[in-house]
Amino acid sequence: MAVAVGQPLLAQVEEKLAYDTKELVLNGGCQVPEMELVVAAAAAIGFDAPEINSFGNSFRDYEAESERKKIVEEFYRQNHVNQTVDFVKMMREEYVKMDKAEMSIWECCELLNTVVDESDPDLDEPQIEHLLQTAEAIRMDFPSHDWLHLTALIHDLGKVLVHHRFGGLPQWAVVGDTFPVGCAFDESIIHHRFFRENPDCNNPAYNTQCGIYSEGCGLENVLISWGHDDYMYLVAKENGTTLPPAALFIIRFHSFYALHNAGAYMHLLNEEDKENMKWLKIFNKYDLYSKSRVRVDVERVKPYYLSLINKYFPPKLRW
Protein backbone atom coordinates (compact mmCIF):
# COMPACT_ATOMS: atom_id res chain seq x y z
CA MET A 1 0.00 0.00 0.00
CA ALA A 2 1.45 3.36 -1.00
CA VAL A 3 1.56 6.06 1.65
CA ALA A 4 1.33 9.65 0.48
CA VAL A 5 3.48 12.05 2.48
CA GLY A 6 1.94 15.49 2.07
CA GLN A 7 3.39 18.92 2.78
CA PRO A 8 1.80 19.29 6.24
CA LEU A 9 3.51 16.07 7.35
CA LEU A 10 6.83 17.16 5.89
CA ALA A 11 6.55 20.41 7.80
CA GLN A 12 5.95 18.41 10.98
CA VAL A 13 8.99 16.29 10.32
CA GLU A 14 11.21 19.31 9.75
CA GLU A 15 9.94 21.00 12.88
CA LYS A 16 10.30 17.90 15.04
CA LEU A 17 13.71 16.69 13.90
CA ALA A 18 15.23 19.92 12.53
CA TYR A 19 16.90 18.58 9.44
CA ASP A 20 16.09 18.69 5.74
CA THR A 21 14.71 15.80 3.69
CA LYS A 22 17.66 15.43 1.37
CA GLU A 23 19.64 12.18 1.38
CA LEU A 24 21.62 11.48 4.50
CA VAL A 25 24.88 9.87 3.43
CA LEU A 26 26.88 7.66 5.75
CA ASN A 27 30.51 8.35 5.00
CA GLY A 28 31.12 4.76 4.06
CA GLY A 29 29.16 5.13 0.86
CA CYS A 30 25.85 3.84 2.25
CA GLN A 31 23.00 6.13 1.26
CA VAL A 32 19.56 6.40 2.79
CA PRO A 33 17.02 7.18 0.04
CA GLU A 34 15.07 10.40 0.47
CA MET A 35 11.63 8.77 0.68
CA GLU A 36 12.82 6.14 3.15
CA LEU A 37 14.17 8.89 5.36
CA VAL A 38 10.96 10.89 5.17
CA VAL A 39 8.90 7.86 6.15
CA ALA A 40 11.28 7.05 8.99
CA ALA A 41 11.19 10.65 10.20
CA ALA A 42 7.42 10.66 10.03
CA ALA A 43 7.38 7.53 12.15
CA ALA A 44 9.60 9.28 14.66
CA ILE A 45 6.81 11.75 15.34
CA GLY A 46 5.11 8.85 17.07
CA PHE A 47 7.83 8.81 19.74
CA ASP A 48 6.07 10.54 22.61
CA ALA A 49 8.80 12.37 24.47
CA PRO A 50 7.79 12.81 28.13
CA GLU A 51 7.67 16.29 29.59
CA ILE A 52 9.14 15.36 32.96
CA ASN A 53 11.86 13.02 34.19
CA SER A 54 11.77 10.36 36.91
CA PHE A 55 12.04 13.05 39.62
CA GLY A 56 9.12 15.14 38.34
CA ASN A 57 11.31 17.85 36.77
CA SER A 58 12.02 18.94 33.19
CA PHE A 59 14.78 17.00 31.46
CA ARG A 60 18.31 18.41 31.91
CA ASP A 61 17.09 21.00 34.40
CA TYR A 62 20.21 21.45 36.51
CA GLU A 63 18.69 24.16 38.69
CA ALA A 64 15.58 22.25 39.76
CA GLU A 65 15.50 21.37 43.43
CA SER A 66 15.77 17.60 43.68
CA GLU A 67 17.55 14.94 45.68
CA ARG A 68 20.25 14.81 43.00
CA LYS A 69 20.98 18.54 42.56
CA LYS A 70 23.90 18.76 45.01
CA ILE A 71 25.43 15.51 43.73
CA VAL A 72 25.29 16.77 40.14
CA GLU A 73 26.73 20.20 41.00
CA GLU A 74 29.68 18.72 42.89
CA PHE A 75 30.29 16.34 40.01
CA TYR A 76 30.54 19.21 37.52
CA ARG A 77 32.78 21.24 39.82
CA GLN A 78 35.33 18.42 39.88
CA ASN A 79 34.89 17.76 36.17
CA HIS A 80 35.45 21.36 35.08
CA VAL A 81 38.45 21.88 37.35
CA ASN A 82 40.28 18.72 36.30
CA GLN A 83 39.60 18.29 32.57
CA THR A 84 42.71 19.90 31.07
CA VAL A 85 44.68 19.40 27.85
CA ASP A 86 47.39 17.50 29.73
CA PHE A 87 44.86 15.27 31.48
CA VAL A 88 43.03 14.39 28.26
CA LYS A 89 46.29 13.56 26.46
CA MET A 90 47.40 11.38 29.36
CA MET A 91 44.11 9.46 29.43
CA ARG A 92 44.07 8.88 25.66
CA GLU A 93 47.64 7.62 25.69
CA GLU A 94 46.83 5.22 28.54
CA TYR A 95 43.54 3.83 27.28
CA VAL A 96 44.37 3.50 23.58
CA LYS A 97 46.61 0.60 24.69
CA MET A 98 43.46 -1.53 25.06
CA ASP A 99 45.08 -3.61 27.79
CA LYS A 100 42.47 -3.39 30.55
CA ALA A 101 40.27 -6.38 29.67
CA GLU A 102 39.13 -8.76 26.96
CA MET A 103 35.41 -9.39 26.73
CA SER A 104 32.40 -9.29 24.44
CA ILE A 105 30.10 -6.32 23.96
CA TRP A 106 27.30 -8.07 25.87
CA GLU A 107 29.57 -8.91 28.80
CA CYS A 108 30.40 -5.23 29.01
CA CYS A 109 26.68 -4.35 28.94
CA GLU A 110 26.14 -6.59 31.96
CA LEU A 111 28.94 -4.84 33.87
CA LEU A 112 26.90 -1.64 33.70
CA ASN A 113 24.35 -3.17 36.07
CA THR A 114 26.50 -1.74 38.86
CA VAL A 115 26.88 1.80 37.45
CA VAL A 116 24.71 4.84 38.25
CA ASP A 117 25.65 8.09 36.49
CA GLU A 118 26.20 10.85 39.09
CA SER A 119 26.05 13.57 36.41
CA ASP A 120 22.53 12.69 35.26
CA PRO A 121 19.75 14.79 36.83
CA ASP A 122 17.07 12.70 35.10
CA LEU A 123 17.61 9.12 36.25
CA ASP A 124 19.32 7.06 38.94
CA GLU A 125 18.75 3.61 37.47
CA PRO A 126 21.63 1.27 36.47
CA GLN A 127 23.00 2.17 33.04
CA ILE A 128 22.02 -1.05 31.27
CA GLU A 129 18.39 0.08 31.64
CA HIS A 130 19.17 3.31 29.76
CA LEU A 131 21.01 1.46 26.98
CA LEU A 132 18.09 -0.84 26.27
CA GLN A 133 15.48 1.91 26.57
CA THR A 134 17.33 4.04 24.02
CA ALA A 135 17.94 1.16 21.63
CA GLU A 136 14.35 -0.09 21.74
CA ALA A 137 12.90 3.39 21.20
CA ILE A 138 15.07 3.90 18.09
CA ARG A 139 14.35 0.39 16.86
CA MET A 140 10.63 1.11 16.95
CA ASP A 141 10.88 4.26 14.82
CA PHE A 142 13.79 3.26 12.54
CA PRO A 143 13.28 -0.51 12.08
CA SER A 144 15.51 -0.85 9.00
CA HIS A 145 18.53 0.97 10.48
CA ASP A 146 20.09 -1.85 12.52
CA TRP A 147 23.42 0.00 12.83
CA LEU A 148 21.56 2.76 14.69
CA HIS A 149 19.96 0.24 17.07
CA LEU A 150 23.37 -1.16 17.97
CA THR A 151 24.87 2.31 18.29
CA ALA A 152 22.19 3.10 20.86
CA LEU A 153 22.92 -0.09 22.77
CA ILE A 154 26.66 0.55 23.04
CA HIS A 155 26.86 4.35 23.14
CA ASP A 156 27.38 4.48 26.93
CA LEU A 157 29.45 1.30 27.39
CA GLY A 158 32.51 3.42 28.11
CA LYS A 159 31.06 4.09 31.55
CA VAL A 160 32.69 0.84 32.63
CA LEU A 161 35.73 3.09 33.24
CA VAL A 162 34.42 3.48 36.80
CA HIS A 163 34.82 -0.29 37.31
CA HIS A 164 38.02 -1.44 39.05
CA ARG A 165 38.91 -3.69 36.10
CA PHE A 166 39.17 -0.58 33.92
CA GLY A 167 41.06 1.62 36.34
CA GLY A 168 38.26 2.66 38.66
CA LEU A 169 38.27 6.24 37.40
CA PRO A 170 36.30 8.87 39.36
CA GLN A 171 32.96 9.72 37.81
CA TRP A 172 34.11 13.23 36.80
CA ALA A 173 36.54 11.49 34.39
CA VAL A 174 33.90 9.18 32.96
CA VAL A 175 30.44 10.75 32.63
CA GLY A 176 28.81 14.15 32.12
CA ASP A 177 28.61 16.62 29.25
CA THR A 178 31.78 16.79 27.15
CA PHE A 179 33.53 19.80 25.60
CA PRO A 180 36.75 20.66 23.75
CA VAL A 181 39.90 21.41 25.71
CA GLY A 182 42.66 23.57 24.25
CA CYS A 183 40.31 26.42 23.33
CA ALA A 184 37.94 28.73 25.19
CA PHE A 185 35.24 27.03 27.26
CA ASP A 186 31.93 28.15 25.78
CA GLU A 187 29.43 29.67 28.20
CA SER A 188 26.74 27.23 27.06
CA ILE A 189 28.53 24.39 28.89
CA ILE A 190 26.55 23.40 31.98
CA HIS A 191 27.86 24.94 35.23
CA HIS A 192 30.36 27.03 33.26
CA ARG A 193 31.37 29.01 36.38
CA PHE A 194 33.45 26.11 37.69
CA PHE A 195 35.94 26.50 34.82
CA ARG A 196 37.44 29.49 36.66
CA GLU A 197 39.49 27.01 38.70
CA ASN A 198 40.72 25.06 35.66
CA PRO A 199 44.52 25.57 35.20
CA ASP A 200 44.10 25.88 31.42
CA CYS A 201 42.28 29.16 31.98
CA ASN A 202 45.68 30.66 32.81
CA ASN A 203 47.19 29.63 29.46
CA PRO A 204 46.63 32.30 26.77
CA ALA A 205 47.12 29.71 24.01
CA TYR A 206 43.96 27.92 25.17
CA ASN A 207 41.69 30.92 25.68
CA THR A 208 40.77 32.04 22.16
CA GLN A 209 37.84 30.80 20.11
CA CYS A 210 39.99 28.34 18.14
CA GLY A 211 42.79 27.96 20.68
CA ILE A 212 45.26 25.32 19.45
CA TYR A 213 42.98 24.38 16.53
CA SER A 214 42.07 26.00 13.22
CA GLU A 215 38.67 26.86 11.83
CA GLY A 216 37.11 23.92 9.99
CA CYS A 217 39.80 21.50 11.19
CA GLY A 218 37.26 18.76 11.92
CA LEU A 219 36.32 17.26 15.27
CA GLU A 220 38.55 14.24 14.64
CA ASN A 221 41.45 16.63 15.28
CA VAL A 222 39.99 18.20 18.44
CA LEU A 223 40.75 17.01 21.97
CA ILE A 224 37.48 16.41 23.81
CA SER A 225 37.22 16.17 27.60
CA TRP A 226 38.01 12.60 28.62
CA GLY A 227 35.18 10.24 29.44
CA HIS A 228 33.07 7.31 28.34
CA ASP A 229 32.30 8.79 24.91
CA ASP A 230 35.90 9.07 23.76
CA TYR A 231 36.83 5.74 25.34
CA MET A 232 34.06 3.76 23.63
CA TYR A 233 34.93 5.48 20.35
CA LEU A 234 38.53 4.29 20.74
CA VAL A 235 37.39 0.76 21.68
CA ALA A 236 35.17 0.47 18.60
CA LYS A 237 37.77 1.95 16.28
CA GLU A 238 40.74 -0.06 17.59
CA ASN A 239 38.76 -3.32 17.45
CA GLY A 240 37.88 -2.85 13.78
CA THR A 241 34.12 -2.38 14.00
CA THR A 242 32.26 -2.30 10.69
CA LEU A 243 29.76 0.25 11.99
CA PRO A 244 29.56 3.27 9.64
CA PRO A 245 31.45 6.49 10.49
CA ALA A 246 28.16 8.16 11.51
CA ALA A 247 27.86 5.61 14.32
CA LEU A 248 31.36 6.39 15.58
CA PHE A 249 30.53 10.10 15.43
CA ILE A 250 27.44 9.51 17.57
CA ILE A 251 29.37 7.44 20.09
CA ARG A 252 32.15 10.01 20.44
CA PHE A 253 30.04 13.17 20.57
CA HIS A 254 26.63 12.22 22.02
CA SER A 255 27.48 14.02 25.30
CA PHE A 256 28.79 17.12 23.51
CA TYR A 257 25.62 19.12 24.32
CA ALA A 258 27.29 22.50 23.79
CA LEU A 259 27.58 21.49 20.13
CA HIS A 260 24.42 19.61 19.24
CA ASN A 261 22.09 21.37 21.66
CA ALA A 262 23.47 24.93 21.90
CA GLY A 263 25.22 25.18 18.51
CA ALA A 264 28.59 26.13 20.00
CA TYR A 265 31.93 25.20 18.39
CA MET A 266 30.41 24.92 14.92
CA HIS A 267 33.47 26.78 13.58
CA LEU A 268 35.58 23.67 14.23
CA LEU A 269 33.45 21.31 12.13
CA ASN A 270 34.35 20.17 8.63
CA GLU A 271 31.84 19.05 5.98
CA GLU A 272 31.90 15.42 7.08
CA ASP A 273 31.10 16.47 10.66
CA LYS A 274 28.14 18.52 9.44
CA GLU A 275 26.68 15.50 7.63
CA ASN A 276 27.14 13.28 10.67
CA MET A 277 25.51 15.93 12.87
CA LYS A 278 22.20 15.12 11.17
CA TRP A 279 22.35 11.61 12.57
CA LEU A 280 23.52 12.81 15.99
CA LYS A 281 20.52 15.15 16.27
CA ILE A 282 18.18 12.25 15.50
CA PHE A 283 19.92 10.04 18.04
CA ASN A 284 19.96 12.66 20.77
CA LYS A 285 16.19 12.76 21.04
CA TYR A 286 16.09 9.07 21.97
CA ASP A 287 19.15 9.21 24.20
CA LEU A 288 17.57 11.95 26.31
CA TYR A 289 13.83 11.29 26.31
CA SER A 290 13.71 7.49 26.46
CA LYS A 291 14.87 7.57 30.10
CA SER A 292 12.20 6.21 32.40
CA ARG A 293 11.59 3.65 35.12
CA VAL A 294 9.82 1.36 32.65
CA ARG A 295 11.95 -1.78 32.42
CA VAL A 296 12.84 -3.57 29.19
CA ASP A 297 12.52 -7.38 29.10
CA VAL A 298 16.21 -8.14 28.65
CA GLU A 299 15.82 -11.83 27.80
CA ARG A 300 13.25 -11.06 25.11
CA VAL A 301 15.43 -8.55 23.24
CA LYS A 302 18.83 -10.09 23.93
CA PRO A 303 18.91 -12.46 20.88
CA TYR A 304 18.29 -9.55 18.51
CA TYR A 305 21.09 -7.41 19.91
CA LEU A 306 23.48 -10.36 20.03
CA SER A 307 22.89 -10.81 16.29
CA LEU A 308 23.81 -7.15 15.68
CA ILE A 309 26.91 -7.42 17.85
CA ASN A 310 28.04 -10.44 15.82
CA LYS A 311 27.41 -8.52 12.60
CA TYR A 312 29.43 -5.41 13.46
CA PHE A 313 32.03 -6.56 16.04
CA PRO A 314 34.44 -9.45 16.68
CA PRO A 315 33.38 -11.99 19.36
CA LYS A 316 35.88 -10.63 21.89
CA LEU A 317 37.15 -7.05 22.11
CA ARG A 318 40.25 -5.56 23.69
CA TRP A 319 39.29 -2.86 26.18
Tell which residue, 309, 152, 131, 158, has the closest CA to residue 246.
Answer: 152
297 is annotated as contributing to ligand binding: no
* Residue 99 marked as a ligand binder: no
Q: Identify which of 161, 152, 79 has the alpha carbon closest to the alpha carbon of residue 120.
A: 79
The answer to whether 191 is a known ligand-binding residue is no
Q: Residue 80 annotated as binding?
A: no
228, 158 Cβ separation under 8 angstroms? yes
- From residue 255, give the alpha-carbon distance in Å to each of 74, 249, 270, 288: 18, 11, 19, 10
How would you classify the pairing of strands 102-103 and 317-318?
antiparallel
**146 annotated to bind ligand:** no
Ligand-binding annotation for 69, yes or no, is: no
61 in a known ligand binding site: no
* 187 annotated ligand-binding residue: no
User: Is 117 annotated as belonging to a binding site?
Assistant: yes
Q: Which of 148, 67, 128 is nearest to 296 (CA)?
A: 128
> Is 164 assigned a ligand-binding role in the annotation?
no
60 is in an annotated binding site: yes
255 is in an annotated binding site: yes
Has 200 been labeled as part of a binding site?
A: no
Residues at the annotated binding site for Fe cation?
A: 130, 155-156, 228, 254, 287
What are the binding residues?
60, 117-119, 130, 155-156, 159, 176-177, 228, 254-255, 287
- Indicate the annotated binding residues for substrate: 60, 117-119, 159, 176-177, 254-255
